[in-house]
Amino acid sequence: MYNVKSRVATEFIDDAEILETLEYAEKNKRNKALINSLLEKASKCKGLNHREAAVLLDCDLPEENEKMYKLAMEIKQKIYGNRIVLFAPLYLSNYCVNGCVYCPYHHNNHHIRRKKLTQEEIVREVTALQDMGHKRLALETGEDPVNNPIEYVLESIKTIYSIKHKNGAIRRVNVNIAATTVENYRKLKEAGIGTYVLFQETYNKANYEKLHPVGPKHDYAYHTEAMDRAMEGGIDDVGLGVLFGLNMYRYDFVGLLMHAEHLEATFGVGPHTISVPRICPADDIDPKSFKNAISDDIFAKIVAVIRIAVPYTGMIISTRESPKSRERALSLGVSQISGASSTSVGGYAEKESPEENTAQFERSDTRTLDEVINWLLKLGYIPSFCTACYREGRTGDRFMSLAKTGKIQYCCHPNALMTLKEYLEDYATPETKALGDEVIKRELMTIPNEKIREIARRHIEDIAVSGKRDFRF
Ligand code: SF4
Ligand code: SF4
């Protein structure tokens, strides 16, 4: 029985409720009056529930779909402006005891090289990342209580925060590790993590169990209830996501929104971020064997409707997507992207030969960070390395109230300009620097509050002239 506030996975992600929602959406996908009233409601940036969003996702009226894309762009602009936050994944270890059939780290893959970084190797990786200009990382490990215990993750976080190379610093470490206990989540919180990210992969229980035939991840309830335990452990910024293509996308889309509604109803804080990965090729994995793979158009529609339905959440795409697909997703709602990622263990400090490949997936976007920054600037975006919120204690409901009212942009905008200036001074090529300096000059003028504008202008000057770093609002 569906109960949004239940703490039982199969009740807040109730299969019957999803199936009824899909039926309702199918029936109403050409209901012009309803669709237009939903678009009108969504234009107030208050979001939509899963039933309403499912109707928009299914809608096949060309004119209404155009309005939908336009609205997604407007909401994105209203809440996030033209800023795009950059991050990089850091793979610590690919040892894994699970059997996820879509991931090359599954324990039965005997031809992938297994590797776990030592603390010295982490120093080398993080130094390489700092030398590129990154300030925000997403830690990734396989699940393996012997090789990757929580103590290893905690020690690695401490190491990462301690490294200061030239003007470099990692200022926010987000963590993507397997579902764990309240006690371990509390330890992660104490270690100073930013967001805890865990992809559900698919919300369809029967399919989930088939895709995860062995290992602790097989337990659907333990995995689906992980965010509740994370919240209990004091982590109030959590990131959701499904791997589109594993199951019927409409089912997972509805499950994803129901999960967001559950967190909001139970803890008063919805997901800090939603990621939208799609299945892609990797060692031992052929995406063609997943018959639910989604097209570029459906992918774009999913991005647009999530943006409309959950306007306050950050949306993330990785280098799984090609530059072309990323460009489209950016305009429709994505606010964070990874850049110049290595999806291998130890891949930043040393290039791997194909035989030594430890990558989790193949990247479609292989550009350098400078090329990505240059591209964003040319598209009219402000690349941002901002990590200010959790360092200023703006997490959980404090963050949400600012995000929901749109007031967060009074911090995001100047922070984006100041962190971009740091990047331009320390890491950019001359062409990117010239381009970025122009954008900063232009964008400074658009800060509405005179006092904030003046402080930001002074800090930007300080970054260039006196070499000071890490200013933030
Ligand atoms: Fe292990 Fe995660 Fe890959 Fe599953 S998806 S095999 S848990 S690394
Ligand atoms: Fe993100 Fe906060 Fe920085 Fe805005 S001010 S970009 S929400 S960390």
The first and second tokens of residue 398, run together, are 């404090």
Say yes or no: 37 and 162 in one domain: no
- As for how many domains the chain has, the answer is 3
pLDDT band with cut points at 50, 70 and 90 for residue 358: confident
Residue 248 within a domain: yes
Question: Of 248, 408, 418, 258, whose CA–CA distance to 335 is shortest?
Answer: 408
Q: CB of 92 within 8 A of CB of 344?
A: no
Which of the listed ranges 140-144, 321-325, 348-352, 401-405 does the model predict with the highest average pLDDT? 140-144
Nearest CA to ligand 1 atom 5: 103
Which of the listed ranges 216-230, 236-250, 276-290 does the model predict with the highest average pLDDT? 216-230
Q: d(Cα 138, Cα 397) in Å, to the nearest integer? A: 22
DSSP tally for the chain: helices H, then strands E: 20, 9
What is the pLDDT averaged over residues 157-173?
97
- Any atom of ligand 2 within 6 Å of the Cβ of 195: no
Nearest CA to ligand 2 atom 4: 412
For the CA of 218, the nearest ligand: 1
Say yes or no: 206 and 343 in one domain: yes
The mean-pLDDT minimum among 141-145, 275-279, 373-377 falls in: 275-279
Say yes or no: 348 and 415 in one domain: no
List, chain by chain if needed, residues with CB within 6 Å of any ligand 1 atom.
96, 98, 100, 103, 105-106, 142-143, 178, 217
User: Sign of the C-alpha dihedral, residues 318, 289, 260, 192?
Assistant: negative
Beta carbons within 10 angstroms of residue 393's beta carbon = 9
Residue 145 within a domain: yes
What is the pLDDT averaged over residues 390-404?
90
Distance of CA 177 from the midpoint of ligand 1 (Å):
9
Going by the DSSP 8-state scheme, the letter that residue 233 receives in this structure is T
Looking at 366, 381, 415, which one is the last position of a domain? Answer: 366
Residue 39 within a domain: yes
Indicate whether 360 pLDDT > 80. yes
For the CA of 216, the nearest ligand: 1
What is the pLDDT averaged over residues 409-425?
96
> What percentage of the chain reaches a pLDDT higher than 70?
99
- Any atom of ligand 2 within 6 Å of the Cβ of 386: yes
Which residues lie below 8 Å from residue 227, measured CB to CB, with a gap of 6+? 196, 198, 238, 240, 259, 263, 271
Distance of CA 84 from the midpoint of ligand 2 (Å):
10
User: Sign of the C-alpha dihedral, residues 196, 153, 225, 199?
Assistant: positive
Task: Name the residue with tokens 């950050």.
Answer: 314
Indicate whether 357 pLDDT > 80. no
The confidence score (pLDDT) of residue 281 equals 67
Indicate whether 353 pLDDT > 80. no
The confidence score (pLDDT) of residue 109 equals 94
The confidence score (pLDDT) of residue 390 equals 86
Helix (H) or strand (E) holding 87: strand 83-93
Q: Which residue has the higher pLDDT, 47 or 361?
A: 47
Indicate whether 286 pLDDT > 80. no
- Any atom of ligand 2 within 6 Å of the Cβ of 418: no
Say yes or no: 434 and 414 in one domain: yes
The confidence score (pLDDT) of residue 280 equals 72
The confidence score (pLDDT) of residue 106 equals 95
Going by the DSSP 8-state scheme, the letter that residue 363 receives in this structure is -
Going by the DSSP 8-state scheme, the letter that residue 238 receives in this structure is E
Q: d(Cα 312, Cα 325) in Å, to the nearest integer? A: 22
Nearest CA to ligand 2 atom 2: 389
CATH of the domain at 216: 3.20.20.70
For the CA of 385, the nearest ligand: 2
pLDDT band with cut points at 50, 70 and 90 for residue 289: confident
Q: CB of 126 within 8 A of CB of 163?
A: yes
Q: CB of 371 within 8 A of CB of 337?
A: no
The confidence score (pLDDT) of residue 355 equals 60
Three-state DSSP class for residue 228:
helix
The confidence score (pLDDT) of residue 243 equals 95
Q: pLDDT tens across 58-79, in order? A: 999 999 999 999 999 999 999 8
Phi, psi at residue 455, to the nearest 5°?
Answer: -65, -45
The first and second tokens of residue 325, run together, are 């697909």
For the CA of 214, the nearest ligand: 1
Name the average pLDDT for the chain.
Answer: 95
Say yes or no: 69 and 105 in one domain: no
Three-state DSSP class for residue 450:
helix
Indicate whether 290 pLDDT > 90. no
Looking at 338, 366, 394, which one is the last position of a domain? Answer: 366
Say yes or no: 189 and 216 in one domain: yes
Q: Which atom of ligand 1 is nearest to the CA of 215?
A: 7
Say yes or no: 33 and 152 in one domain: no
Say yes or no: 23 and 144 in one domain: no
The mean-pLDDT minimum among 184-188, 305-309, 393-397 falls in: 393-397
Distance of CA 20 from the midpoint of ligand 2 (Å):
37
The first and second tokens of residue 203, run together, are 């919300």
Say yes or no: 49 and 104 in one domain: no
- Domain hosting 357: range is 80-366
Burial track 1-18 (b if 16+ CB lie within 10 A, e otherwise): ebebebeebeebbbeebb
Q: d(Cα 267, Cα 199) in Å, to the nearest integer? A: 19
Phi, psi at residue 379, to the nearest 5°?
Answer: -80, -5
The DSSP line for 101-169 is TT-TTSTT--SSPP-B--HHHHHHHHHHHHHHT--EEEEEE---TTTS-HHHHHHHHHHHHH---TT--
Distance of CA 411 from the midpoint of ligand 2 (Å):
7
The mean-pLDDT minimum among 63-72, 325-334, 358-367 falls in: 358-367
- Any atom of ligand 2 within 6 Å of the Cβ of 415: yes
Residue 471 within a domain: no
The first and second tokens of residue 435, run together, are 């381009």
Residue 395 within a domain: no
Nearest CA to ligand 2 atom 5: 412
Question: Of 351, 340, 341, 333, whose CA–CA distance to 374 is shortest?
Answer: 340
Q: Which atom of ligand 2 is nearest to the CA of 394?
A: 2
For the CA of 200, the nearest ligand: 1
- Any atom of ligand 2 within 6 Å of the Cβ of 382: no
Residue 384 within a domain: no
What is the pLDDT averaged over residues 25-41?
98
Going by the DSSP 8-state scheme, the letter that residue 369 receives in this structure is H
Q: pLDDT tens across 37-50, in order? A: 999 999 999 999 99
Q: Which atom of ligand 2 is nearest to the CA of 85?
A: 6
Chain-centre distance of CA 240, in angstroms? 8
For the CA atoms of 267, 272, 274, 275, the dihedral, rounded to the nearest 10 degrees, stands at -130
The confidence score (pLDDT) of residue 352 equals 67
Burial group, residue 451, by CB count within 10 angstroms (0-12, 13-18, 19+): exposed
Looking at 51, 76, 101, which one is the last position of a domain? Answer: 76
Say yes or no: 126 and 266 in one domain: yes
Indicate whether 354 pLDDT > 70. no
Bridge partners of residue 238, in order along the sequence: 196
pTM of the shown model? 0.96
What is the pLDDT averaged over residues 4-21?
98
| Residue among 92, 101, 105 whose CB has most ligand 1 atoms within 8 A, to mutate | 105
- Any atom of ligand 2 within 6 Å of the Cβ of 387: yes
Say yes or no: 94 and 46 in one domain: no
Say yes or no: 99 and 199 in one domain: yes
Bridge partners of residue 84, in order along the sequence: 383
Residue 427 within a domain: yes
**What is the identity of the amino acid at 413?**
H
Q: d(Cα 11, Cα 259) in Å, to the nearest integer? A: 11
Task: Name the residue with tokens 């603390």.
Answer: 119
Residue 388 within a domain: no
Q: CB of 279 within 8 A of CB of 313?
A: no
